[in-house]
Amino acid sequence: MNKQKRDRILGLAALAAAIAMPVYGADIRESAGDGSGSEDSSIRMVSADSEPGNWLLHGRTYSEQRFSPLGNINQENVSKLALAWYFDTGTKRGLEATPLIVDGVMYTTGSWSKVYALDAKTGEQLWEYDPKVPREWGRNACCDVVNRGVAFWDGKVYVGTIDGRLVALSATDGSLRWDINTIDRSKPYTITGAPRVVKGKVVIGNGGADLGVRGYFSAYDADTGAMIWRFYTVPGDPSLPFENPELEAAAKTWKGGEWWKIGGGGTVWDSMAYDPELDLLYVGTGNGSPWSRHLRSPGGGDNLFLSSILAVRPDSGELVWHYQTTPGDSWDYTATQHIILADIEIDGEVRNVLMQAPKNGFFYVLDRKTGELVSAEKYVKVTWADHVDLATGRPVENPEATWKDETAVVFPSSLGGHNWHPMAYSPETGLVYIPARDLPGAYGPEPGFEHRPGAWNTGTDLVHFADVPPEAVNGYLLAWDPVHQREAWRIKQDGGWHGGLLATAGGLVFQGTNDGNLSAYRADNGSKLWEVKTGTGIMAPPVTYMVDGEQYVSIMAGWGGVYGVAFGRAAKSMQGAGPGRLLTFKLGGEALAPTVAQQPYQELPEPLPPLSVSEEVLERGKVLYQRNCAVCHGFGMVSAGVIPDLRYSSPAVHDIWNDIVIDGLLTGNGMASFADVLSPDEAQIIRAYVVERTNEGEIPGSSRPDSQ
């Protein structure tokens, strides 16, 4: 699009906003740099619910309910929903973003943290920003090079990049306002989550606990990028001064060991919510690093603030209260999952609550002013704990779930009963809609664990991750009654990595699925009313908005993430890594559907000449592969289709194996050198295992689309 047309569209959007809402007229323009627009932006974002035609914040409002008051599309006419326009991202990696819609302009992100601005009515691209993330940094991403979206504030768009930067862009033309580093670049930190802006402060956390980092989240001045405060989620070296009194108290819950040398974990990689009346920012924290409590804290203890919900003051980062969902977590049961704020009536009293369905399988309702536990019940199959004691707020653990000395099979797995995919809450039905799953995890101690900088450092024997058969995966859309803590209805779905949710005043719930369908259900009973095939597996949540009196529904369609990359056997029903697209629908849409080439299924290649190595060498190759390669190329060497399946490697690839693995020949493609964690001989041992697996053929039930 030429500059004149782009400026015209953005100018009309600004004019429309100024006419419709005079108090917000400055928001589409750039701030003069003196913060004069910040107060107006605060008012606008706090009042986001009064602008149903826009989607101003990650969860539409600060409460993160993902409920839209729009009802033009409803149960009676949703069958007439059809494609209005689509936008190709030009990628085949995971897409997880929630688009924002501000006065007729849509802002969203794609793989490698790219940002796109589109005309929300037509889909025409207004501008694009590429932060040029070094492709070798993708090795540090536990779960694909994904990004969950941007934040908007006072004429600027903010994005966190996979290599740990926070970037501010002009909303008008995508030009760079500032670009700051938020991490220690010698550590394997990443950012995949969407920033939040509260009271002129951009808040962002990071990921990397699985590889070995110390978690924190920080607030930056939205205008200048200057850091205002930082809250570390786990204590550092106890021989040094603590950053705040809360960490000094938390250190007493870490006993023995030297966790600070191997990370500690607690990374804040996704969920946040904000209550303007209480002036509290709620933040979910992640798992321990390493996963095993017996390695990071052999003397026991709860290990605060792992797997916790923190309530802090956004002006200072001061901790007001905390609640730990999984004390002393050993199962990667993060509490970084979606947080929803709502006012619900319980026992005749309206309670201001916070709701979360974290990985550990319990649905929590907390008083959001005090952190008091109101209720907690199992929303999926749970075997690691019997129940949560309401008097103490603590789970009653099952001793058989401990895996200090031997492998234990536990529900849920490290993928959780619910992962990052956003829930939705409808105040009309009183139900929370959860993309849930039942999936067991095989946890076992890693023999001779030693921390390896830059590598996976979970302390678990990742060989066991290949042992979960496809038939053990049960995914479903779950409607949950948070007042009575019970299931209202569920929709069984093939596979276990389905997209986030949207609820609307039209009595509808929208969701995309891993087999490439976008569907609309009745919010009260789950009856399916509409469905369209998109040609690409979906993980992201839908959004809805209005332009010129027409309601639209949009969704990012792009397969990937940890399930779409590493769990090839379990992802048996996936659509596969089709083209990444943003799809937008309206009643009576007349756009031609994009052509989607079906992913062909094919047999494995002809057997390769076997290598003359012993069974011991092959077993060593299996271990090395699982620890170093599986999270990208698939556990059990069965790729889920996003990154190449090594069993399909050509003889030419085998001829230059060490050039790729050790020398980094394909760094520009995202395949970084592993010379820091593998010797040339170990790389060849992995190759011997690859040859062996190639010649074994398919594991029953693991047929998959061609990934080459």
Active site residues: 332
Whose CA is closest to 87, among 45, 126, 141?
126
Whose CA is closest to 97, among 25, 151, 28, 175?
151
CA atoms of 13 and 91, how far apart (whole Å): 29
Q: Which amino acid is at 488?
A: A
In the three-class reduction of DSSP (H, G, I as helix; E, B as strand; rest coil), residue 163 is classed as coil
CA atoms of 118 and 227, how far apart (whole Å): 30
Judge whether 339 and 399 are in contact, CB under 8 Å. no
CA atoms of 467 and 701, how far apart (whole Å): 12
Please provide residue 562's backbone torsions phi and psi, each rounded to the nearest 5 degrees.
Answer: -65, -40
Tokens of 453: 């900088």
Tokens of 397: 């653990």
CA atoms of 70 and 55, how far apart (whole Å): 11
Whose CA is closest to 343, among 235, 425, 242, 268?
425
What's the chain's length in residues? 708
**Range list of β-strands (E), 130-164:** 151-153, 156-160
Contact partners, residue 683, CB within 8 Å, separation at least 6: 657, 658, 661, 662, 674
19, with CB counted inside 10 A (0-12, 13-18, 19+), is exposed
State the DSSP code for 628. Answer: H
In the three-class reduction of DSSP (H, G, I as helix; E, B as strand; rest coil), residue 554 is classed as strand
In the three-class reduction of DSSP (H, G, I as helix; E, B as strand; rest coil), residue 136 is classed as helix
How crowded is residue 32: how many other Cβ atoms within 10 Å of its Cβ?
A: 11
